Amino acid sequence: MNTGLWIWPVDTKSRGKVLREVGASPQLLNAMTLLMKSKEGLSNSELDDMTADNSNCFTLWILRQLTSLGFIEFRVDLFGGPAKYRLTDLGKTSLGTITGQPAQLQPQVKTPPAAPTQAQSG
């Protein structure tokens, strides 16, 4: 566990290498995919359950890797809920680059159009 990605490089060539390493790791790619599918993010224990690797230590290692690269962020709920990990914009873009598919943004709630008033209808 003394090896890892740990930094997001500034030059394009090194970025490609890091993306290839992340893409070659089924655990990192799986964690990013699971976080992408979650609207609200996932807590440490939720991610551990979903990956089904039964190793909280390994899940923490994955989260440290992705956090250090800037692919995920940790958000604390100030009102007592569990803290959650979420993909950052860099993480979404990187996942899209790795998988070859555009990042699927979470659907936004659209408000229905306002009903016409009497002045507009007639």
| Under 8 Å between Cβ of 98 and 22 | yes
Domain for residue 82, yes or no? yes
Domain for residue 95, yes or no? yes
Question: What CATH number corresponds to the domain at position 17?
Answer: 1.10.10.10
Domain for residue 6, yes or no? no
Domain for residue 116, yes or no? no
Domain for residue 31, yes or no? yes
Range of the domain at 63: 12-100
Q: How far is CA 37 from CA 3, 12, 60, 93, in A?
A: 28, 28, 19, 14
Domain for residue 18, yes or no? yes
pLDDT score of 10 more than 90: no
Domain for residue 53, yes or no? yes
What is the structure's pLDDT at 80?
A: 84
Task: Please state the domain count of the chain.
Answer: 1
pLDDT score of 106 more than 60: no
Domain for residue 115, yes or no? no
Average of per-residue pLDDT values in the chain: 82
Q: Write the pLDDT tens digit of every residue in 33-79.
A: 999 999 889 998 899 889 887 778 888 899 999 999 999 999 998 88
